[in-house]
Amino acid sequence: MRKILITGGAGFIGSNFVLYMRKRYPSDRIIVFDKLTYAGNLENLKSLSSGPEYLFIKGDIKDFEILDRIFGKEEIDAIVNFAAESHVDRSILGPKAFIETNVLGTFALLEVARKHWGASKDKRFLHVSTDEVYGSLGDTGYFTEATPYSPNSPYAASKASSDHLVRAYFHTYGLPVVTTNCSNNYGPYQFPEKLMPLMIINALKGKNLPVYGDGQNVRDWLYVEDHCRAIDMVLDKGRGGETYNIGGKNEKKNIDLVNEVCSIIDERLSADKGLSARYPFKGSRKGLIHFVKDRPGHDRRYAIDCAKIEKELGWRPEHSFEAGIRKTIDWYLENPGWWERIISGEYRDYYETQYKERLVEKRSE
Ligand code: NAD
Ligand code: DAU
């Protein structure tokens, strides 16, 4: 039985990972530590209840004292650090929170791990990072683990800084770290400010589909469950101090992706009277596409070479883009309450009105 601290476990990838690990390792104790920023949603974890195998703690990874207390009380075996400010557009509008969480937060987490673990070989600090640290590609080539860092947005620069700190703690203190750099994820529970859920929800509601610039920017799309499986494998077998690239082998131009979302939604709704009554629309949803002002400093192309994780750990993406996108659209069709509560802002009350009340009830039982 392991005790795993999962930071940022109420966000998109973090909550998918928590649910994945819960199913795969039922006796591990999972402690989710999350600040519940706008991107954290405890509703994602509502199927879990507090007990010996699961605990949620609300807190900021920048807060050394609270982390220190957790480490003092629980014999933590592994940390998986998902906690971050993750949206590029927000980093352009206001970079400060990105420096605070992604840089200073990762630093505090590393300090706590160093204090309690030192160079212990039995422990594991897995830092979840992004391919954006490598900058932008031209029409050809791939990011490998040897590609020099060249971050372009404040988000990417803050993640690059955190990766360098993680690397330095291995080289200087022998802290048992490993870093993953992944491409664009999509799937259930993704906050609807990101391209995929934004386009699905707007297309359902018959709202404009804003495509930045000329729509020719390329991203490498990975279904989130495949990312979770990769992290599990790196946690278990990845070599200390190493970095592993993770990608979907699914390069898509943004405009092609949005066109595909429109076609699948048109097709799904025209085959289902209930759904077409709920989301009425005449004509093709491609007509909702609008080209808008480009994102400043918009990286042109990302593409991952994941030969290292394939060869060393035997990981491969299992979802084709065709399968993953259909599964994702179905999830948003089946869970309208989840995204409607985000749009209305109601999801922000979940912790106060439901989670805390349940805890109080449980304690007074
Ligand atoms: P997200 O924005 O959906 O979730 C981030 C979570 O971190 C939220 O639950 C939020 O409440 C929490 N958080 C934010 N600041 C915190 C703080 N100071 N202390 C504690 N918790 C805090 O992000 P995501 O898309 O799930 O990304 C998770 C991680 O994976 C990030 O580190 C991101 O850089 C990385 N990543 C994301 C993608 C992607 O496509 N989404 C791809 C590669 C890597
Ligand atoms: O590559 C990994 C990264 O992928 C992660 O590190 C980030 O956390 C994650 O947010 C994601 O970053 P992107 O900037 O690539 O994701 P986003 O969904 O914001 O945008 C994807 C592409 O779509 C990008 O080229 C910008 C474009 N876009 C985005 C939005 C929100 C649009 O054209 N219109 C939009 O409305």
| Ligand 1 and 39: CB distance under 6 A | yes
- Name the DSSP letter for residue 223: E
| DSSP characters over 191-216 | -TTSHHHHHHHHHHHT--EEEETTS-
CA-16 nearest atom, ligand 1: 26
Ligand 1, atom 12: closest residue by C-alpha: 8
Q: What is the pLDDT of residues 71-99, one digit of tens each?
A: 999 999 999 999 999 999 999 999 999 99
Ranges in the chain, pLDDT < 70:
356-365
Instruction: State the distance from the centre of ligand 2 to the C-alpha of 252, rounded, in angstroms.
Output: 12
For residue 120, give the H/E element and its range: none
Instruction: State the distance from the centre of ligand 1 to the C-alpha of 82, rounded, in angstroms.
Output: 5
**CA torsion sign, 132 to 135 to 137 to 142?**
negative
CA-159 nearest atom, ligand 1: 34
Ligand 2, atom 25: closest residue by C-alpha: 217
- 305 class by beta-carbon count within 10 Å (0-12 exposed, 13-18 middle, 19+ buried): middle
Instruction: State the distance from the centre of ligand 2 to the C-alpha of 254, rounded, in angstroms.
Output: 9
Determine whether 163 is an active site residue.
Answer: no
Tell me the pairing of strands 209-212 and 184-186: unpaired
Q: Give the residue, out of 5, 12, 112, with the most ligand 1 atoms within 8 A of its beta carbon, to mutate for a pocket test.
A: 12
Q: Give the residue, out of 81, 184, 193, 209, with the most ligand 2 atoms within 8 A of its beta carbon, to mutate for a pocket test.
A: 184
**CA torsion sign, 204 to 93 to 90 to 32?**
negative
Q: Give the residue, out of 87, 158, 195, with the most ligand 2 atoms within 8 A of its beta carbon, to mutate for a pocket test.
A: 195
Instruction: State the distance from the centre of ligand 1 to the C-alpha of 11, rounded, in angstroms.
Output: 6
Ligand 1, atom 28: closest residue by C-alpha: 82
CA-153 nearest atom, ligand 2: 14
Q: What is the pLDDT of residues 325-347, one digit of tens each?
A: 999 999 999 999 999 999 999 99
Tokens representing 361 are 């009830």
Instruction: State the distance from the centre of ligand 2 to the C-alpha of 91, rounded, in angstroms.
Output: 12
First to last CA, the chain: 28
The pLDDT of residue 351: 76
List the chain domain ranges: 3-186+223-249+297-321+347-364
pTM, to two decimals: 0.97
Cβ count within 10 A of residue 67: 27
The pLDDT of residue 51: 87
Domain covering 3-186+223-249+297-321+347-364 in this structure, CATH number:
3.40.50.720
Contact indicator for 142, 95 with CB cutoff of 8 Å: no
Contact indicator for 277, 116 with CB cutoff of 8 Å: no
Tokens representing 196 are 């995929």
| Ligand 2 and 302: CB distance under 6 A | yes
The pLDDT of residue 359: 63
Collect all residues with Cβ–Cβ distance below 8 Å to 138 and sequence separation of at least 6.
300, 301
Tokens representing 231 are 């992290």
Instruction: State the distance from the centre of ligand 1 to the C-alpha of 34, rounded, in angstroms.
Output: 10
Determine whether 131 is an active site residue.
Answer: yes
Tokens representing 51 are 């007990």
The pLDDT of residue 162: 99
